[in-house]
Amino acid sequence: MPEHSTEVFILTGFLGAGKSTLLTRLMQHELEVGRNIAVIMNELGEVSIDSSFIPKELPRKDLTDGCICCSLQGDLSAQIEQLLQEHRLDAIYIEATGAAQPFDILDACTDPTISGSIEVRAVITVVDAKQWDDMERLPPELSGLLLAQATHADVIVLTKTDALADPDRVPIVLAHLQSINPSAQIIASTRAGAAASAISSAERVAHAPVAAEPLHLHKHLHLNSFAFYPSGPLIRQAFEGWLGSLPGQLYRAKGFVRLAGEDGLFLFQHSYEQSIFTRFLVDVPYTPVLVFIGVGLNPAVRKSELRLLQASDETAGIGR
């Protein structure tokens, strides 16, 4: 047995469910209790937006433009091995892509080069309460993925309970989750509050055997992603109208943008039925970029449409 074993926590959950929000809380909690942690971020897009929220002092590895459970499985074990060689760590947090299956990430953690030095403490699945409550309206590939992510979790964090129009649905969603994964610890939350301390004491639980053949469900979802680098400020109203009229399924969009008539940079977040612009108050000069993830997006057409939603030099300052 190695004298020091590093705990590994795996965060899964569909695109935009609230993994990074939870990770931010977990990092704060770990830093408060003085533990040495590292973070591995896996994003489907070619640009990592979420990694800009990781405190600079924390060791971090980014796996972009692919999913751990398919193309990047070997890369994950190599990144863990490198982190273990470079730092003495109490814990590593892995934020998976929204399309990842917990089973496949667990599989990557059994690689003989690292399995003796790590202990997978918990698979944490983040579930968007509203999306789960709408399960019957979702495409079957998506509902199948949500069920798989919840089934193999040790801890389920139910987020966005504030976004449910009817608060009486919360106990119903909780009961449904518990019925499909009776052994999981389930925490209902808004913006992952109260979840961090409960998770640090979580343990792996025994699950029913999983399918021997991993299901690469994001392939079945035919997800594609593209990044758009705006050359000027976006006209907010036109952009929001464009988002609402997109063909196909937009599952996630995020990035940093400038808006016509406004000073400074904005963080844009679009997840299940929710779009938010927040003024980005960080002194670092981020390049404006938007990442879109969905099905049937046709990137070339969408990029040419987006170019038309940028303000010209004459209109950029309107409203200022």
List residues near ligand GTP by CB under 6 A. Answer: 13, 15-21, 50, 98, 126, 159-160, 162-163, 190-191, 252, 254, 269, 271, 276
Whole-number minimum distance, CB 173 to ligand GTP, in Å?
Answer: 13
Whole-number minimum distance, CB 79 to ligand GTP, in Å?
Answer: 17
Distance separating alpha carbons of residues 125 and 268, to the nearest angstrom? 24
Amino acid identity of residue 184, one-letter, is A
Whole-number minimum distance, CB 285 to ligand GTP, in Å?
Answer: 22
Residue with smaller CB distance to ligand GTP, 44 or 316? 44
Residue with smaller CB distance to ligand GTP, 114 or 149? 149
Report whether 45 contacts 39 (CB < 8 A).
Answer: no
Whole-number minimum distance, CB 161 to ligand GTP, in Å?
Answer: 7
CA dihedral (307, 286, 293, 250) in degrees, to 10, reads -60
Whole-number minimum distance, CB 190 to ligand GTP, in Å?
Answer: 4
Residue with smaller CB distance to ligand GTP, 25 or 302? 25
Q: What sign does the dihedral 223-224-230-234 (CA atoms) show?
A: negative
Residue with smaller CB distance to ligand GTP, 84 or 92? 92
Residue with smaller CB distance to ligand GTP, 114 or 288? 288
With residues binned 3-state (H G I as helix, E B as strand, rest as coil), the percentages for the chain, rounded to 5, are 30, 25, 40
Provide the angle, in degrees to the nearest 10, between the axes of the packed helices 140-151 and 169-180: 70
Whole-number minimum distance, CB 64 to ligand GTP, in Å?
Answer: 12
Whose CA is closest to 271, among 181, 155, 166, 191?
Answer: 191
Distance separating alpha carbons of residues 104 and 102, to the nearest angstrom? 6
Residue with smaller CB distance to ligand GTP, 26 or 316? 26
Whole-number minimum distance, CB 308 to ligand GTP, in Å?
Answer: 26
Whose CA is closest to 250, among 215, 226, 278?
Answer: 226
Whole-number minimum distance, CB 4 to ligand GTP, in Å?
Answer: 30
Residue with smaller CB distance to ligand GTP, 157 or 311? 157
CA atoms within 13 A on the CB side of 53: 19
Matching residue, tokens 């801890």: 155
Residue with smaller CB distance to ligand GTP, 61 or 254? 254
Report whether 242 contacts 309 (CB < 8 A).
Answer: yes
Provide the angle, in degrees to the nearest 10, between the axes of the packed helices 299-307 and 236-244: 150
Q: What sign does the dihedral 206-207-210-216 (CA atoms) show?
A: negative
